[in-house]
Chain A
Amino acid sequence: MTTLVHTPARTGLSAIRVEAVPVLIFLVLALVPIAAAFGPETYWLGLFTRVMVFAIAALALDFICGYGGLVSFGHAAFVGIGAYAVGILGAHGVTDLLISLPVALGVSALFAFLTGTVCLRTKSVYFIMITLAFGQMIYFVAGSLAPYGGDDGLTVRARSTLLGLPLFANDRVFYYIVLGSLLGSYMLCRAFVVSRFGRVFRGARENATRIATIGYDVFRYQRIAYVIAGAIGGLSGFLLANATEFVSPAYMSWQRSGELIIMVLFGGIGTLHGAIVGAAAYLLLEDTLAGVTEHWKLIFGPMLVLIVLFARGGLLGLGESLRRKLFPGRSDP
């Protein structure tokens, strides 16, 4: 069977160097609120907050999927768990993020640890399907939580506070908090990828037997990565609940997990910042196309096909080959 992903995951050295593209991405994101001040500000801030929230989840997925070959089809479950931590605690009057954030991260990490223990025994397509299975289970659990709205979901009455301070209440402040979380998650994943841990983790994707022969416990490494990705997914859910002021089982449906995979591949798998580009491209495109025609999926569907057929390495890969064509003299810096 072919390997699940073969992508130009960067080698340790080049990854640690400050790259132009990620810096540019974060620069643009940091400047969005200034540009937004000239337009319908709340709308622009809300839209880009949403982009970044999904970018965090997609980033975590790219970390395990692009570097470790672990294609999770249940990643939305972690987002949902993080969101429900905010919703359920909020329903009991607990809004302080010193409580809700650790709970969101802790429970999603625990769920990742438990399900990872089972899922990581399987490989390739079987891994995709078993992660789907656990995602569906938690989806049905959320839908049956009658005291918390069941399938209808539940309104988050107030955004999270810090020691009673309504830190998230201001949209602009909240925007920069989400940006900070995205940057933090990005740095964390990047650091893991280039570390000795990351080399083993990446090596296990290429040839698990060899890595095992050298004396590494592949399973343990993969599980640690899976737990990290789960916790970051939980962070994304924590922020999503605050951004939409609503939580719903729909946040963890299999369609949502599929969308996350598409975002990762759309931007360029195995690059981390590709996930951010992918999330932005997917959500902004959805927003734009839906404005053009009710039948926007007639355009969006074939676009996905074309990206796969002609733009290997996603939008980043497309950009790279465009750059090479335009500046043929310059070799890769």
Chain B
Amino acid sequence: MSTSLLIVQILNGLQLGVLLFLIAAGLTLVFGVMDFINLAHGVQYMLGAYLAVMFYALTGNFLIALVLALAAALVFGLLLEFTVFRHLYDRDHLEQVIATFGIILFLNQGVKVVWGAAPLNLPIPEIFSGTVVLMQGILYPVWRLVIIGSGLAVGLILYILVSHTRVGMLVRAGATNARIVSALGVDIRRLFMIVFGFGTMLAAFAGVMIAPILSVEPGMGDSVLILAFVVIVIGGIGSMRGAFIAALLIGLVDTLGRSFAIDILRLVMPPSPARTVGPAIASMLIYVLMALVLYFRPAGLFPARGR
């Protein structure tokens, strides 16, 4: 393993981290503010990707497809909020889990009925389709840089929104004690609806941005959902800063583990068993990390205050 490869892999790890943050941001926002476990976050991410594919096929323009997909996802999210989710806010977590799981089953099958089971494609917009030379012999796709940029931008916007605006202040207050905020004359129901709608759009945005590098297929949100939960739990539920740092941490651990687990094991055992044990350990690493973090910090790295 050469130093330059190590540097590239660290960059790759950070990039995966930003990608994970993009997916987890909406989840931790909704969870943190509304104390609502939304397992349907993953299918909303999937829906965003599917909508973008559909609108791209209609318009042939990525940007328009993005905007339309976000709008459609928002409408659909609010519809779900109105019919199902708002009746779950004061229920216990377990009931939220089951109800939103029901939505997962429905939507995963639903996209199959509407768009078919075959995987679909969303191309990269022409201007971002090239590569840049990172170091000698190693090229880096421009679209990846766009994803990183948008992930950082989302983080920054959320930070400003939550800590420097009136809505953000209400959100923080609502997260700490919804009843008092409501007694002060704030329409908590509307506030929750806004937050949920925003969370939905974040999920859909992540779906659209990542779709060009992935297969758009039914169930694409399921594995991502588990990763996103790992991220927000390690970070401390409701903490945006925690989610960001945890996402980078997981990205690094996963990427470096995958790249170097076998090399490291080869130092202590023969190559053939190392090749068998290495990938198994690499798959487990993020879960080991989560167990370790929770063992030493049972409420995650940055426990949100007020709970």
- Direct A–B touching, Cβ under 8 Å: yes
Interface set of A (CB-CB < 8 Å, partner B)? 1-6, 65, 71, 118, 121-126, 128-130, 132-134, 136-137, 140-141, 143-144, 146, 254, 258, 261-262, 265-266, 269, 295, 297-298, 300-305, 307-309, 312
The residue of chain B having its C-beta at the shortest distance from the C-beta of A266 within the complex is B98
Interface pair B106/A298, CB less than 8 Å apart:
yes
Instruction: Check B94 against A71 for contact (C-beta < 8 Å).
Output: yes
Given known pairs A125-B37, A137-B287, the reply for A262 and B280 (CB within 8 Å) is: no
Which 6 A-B pairs give the minimum distances between C-beta atoms?
A304-B102, A301-B106, A301-B105, A144-B280, A297-B109, A133-B287
Q: How far is the CB of B305 from chain A (nearest CB, A)?
A: 13
- Measured in the bound complex, the distance between the Cα atoms of B223 and A136 in whole Å is 12
Chain B neighbourhood of A133, CB < 8 A: 230, 287-288, 290-291, 294
Say whether B103 contacts A305, CB under 8 Å. Answer: yes
Task: Report yes or no: B276 in contact with A146, Cβ–Cβ below 8 A.
Answer: yes
Q: A121-B295, A122-B298, A129-B230 are in contact. Are A302 and B106 (CB under 8 A)?
A: yes
Main secondary structure of the interface of A (DSSP, over half): helix
Q: Are B283 and A140 in contact (CB under 8 A)?
A: yes
> With A and B bound together, what is the CA distance between A65 and B93 in angstroms?
12
Cα A284 to Cα B277 in complex, Å, equals 39
Chain A residues closer than 8 Å to B189, beta-carbon distance: none
Nearest-CB residue, chain B, relative to A309: B87
* Complex Cα spacing A300 to B107, Å: 11
B residues adjacent to A (C-beta < 8 A): 35, 37, 84, 87-88, 90-95, 97-99, 101-110, 112-113, 226, 229-230, 233, 237, 276-277, 279-280, 283-284, 287-288, 290-291, 294-295, 298-300, 307
For the complex formed, measure the closest distance between the CB of B117 and the CB atoms of chain A, giving whole angstroms.
Answer: 10
A301-B103, A304-B105 known; A125 vs B93 contact (CB < 8 Å): yes
Q: With the chains together, A18 CA to B246 CA distance in Å? A: 51
B35 touches A1 (CB 8 A): yes
Residue contact B284 to A308, C-beta cutoff 8 Å:
no
Expressed in whole angstroms, the minimum distance between the Cβ of A312 and any Cβ of chain B is 8
Q: Which residues of B contact A137 (CB under 8 A)?
A: 284, 287-288, 291
Residues of A within 8 A of B35 (CB): 1-2
**New A-B pairs, 14, CB < 8 Å, besides A5-B94, A118-B295, A304-B99:** A4-B92, A4-B94, A121-B294, A121-B295, A122-B294, A137-B284, A143-B280, A258-B101, A295-B109, A300-B102, A302-B106, A304-B98, A308-B91, A312-B95
Identify the interface centre among A137, A141, A262, A302: most chain B CB within 10 Å of its CB.
A137
A145 → chain B, closest Cβ, in Å? Answer: 9
Q: Are A295 and B94 in contact (CB under 8 A)?
A: no
Enumerate 22 A-B pairs (CB-CB under 8 Å) in ascending A order. Answer: A3-B92, A4-B94, A118-B294, A123-B298, A123-B299, A126-B237, A130-B295, A133-B290, A133-B291, A133-B294, A137-B291, A143-B280, A262-B98, A262-B101, A265-B95, A266-B98, A295-B113, A300-B105, A301-B102, A301-B103, A305-B99, A312-B95
Interface of B, secondary structure class, is helix
Most buried by A among B93, B94, B294: B94
Q: How far is the CA of A144 from the CA of B282 in the complex (A)?
A: 12
A1 touches B109 (CB 8 A): no
CA distance A224 to B37 in the complex (A): 29
Interface centre among A1, A125, A265, A312 (most CB of B within 10 A): A125
Bound form: Cα–Cα A239–B156 in Å? 53
- Distance to closest chain B CB from A164 (angstroms): 36
Closest B residue to A135 using CB positions: B287
Q: Which residues of chain A are near B283, meaning CB under 8 Å?
A: 140
The docked-state distance in angstroms from the alpha carbon of A9 to that of B180 is 31
CA distance A297 to B99 in the complex (A): 13
CB-CB under 8 A for A265 and B294, given A137-B288, A297-B109, A302-B106: no
Q: Which residues of A contact B290 (CB under 8 A)?
A: 129-130, 133
| B93 contact set on A, CB distance < 8 A | 2, 4, 71, 124-125, 128
**Complex-state Cα separation, A30 to B255, whole angstroms:** 54
Establish whether residues B98 and A308, one from each chain, have CB atoms under 8 Å apart when the complex forms.
yes
Q: If A2-B92, A2-B93, A130-B291 touch, does A307 touch B98 (CB 8 Å cutoff)?
A: yes
